[in-house]
Amino acid sequence: MTDEGPGGSAPDRRRWRVWLRAWRMWVRRRLPPGTRLPVGLLLIAGGVLGFLPILGFWMIPLGVAVAATDVQPLWRRFRAWRARSR
């Protein structure tokens, strides 16, 4: 049993980054700019109710990522947080 740390192994992190980049490009292409922020806020609000069966706490970071694609200052904060967490 190896101790890979909290981030997992390097290939797992790389695969996760590739998936996240592809998902972000999908959101940018499919959702019009005016709808990204409301969709992100709805996901965050649904995440607050994460104790309910259908909704989950996973919706909060997803909502932040969707809203951040539309709001540049929020995107900068998200990048800074991601850099600090590495």
User: What's the rounded Cα separation, in Å, for the pair 14 and 7?
Assistant: 11
Assigned domain for 5 exists: no
Assigned domain for 75 exists: yes
At 54 the pLDDT is 77
Assigned domain for 2 exists: no
For residue 75, give every residue at least 6 positions away whose Cβ sits within 8 Å of its Cβ, in sequence order, or none.
Answer: 68, 69
Q: State the residue range of the domain holding 29.
A: 10-85
Q: What is the pTM of this model?
A: 0.58
Number of domains in the chain: 1
Q: If you write DSSP's letter for every residue of 41-75 in order, what string do you get?
A: HHHHHHHHTTTSSS--TTHHHHHHHHHHTT-HHHH
The pLDDT tens digits of the residues spanning 23-61 come to 888 888 888 878 888 988 998 998 888 888 878 888 888
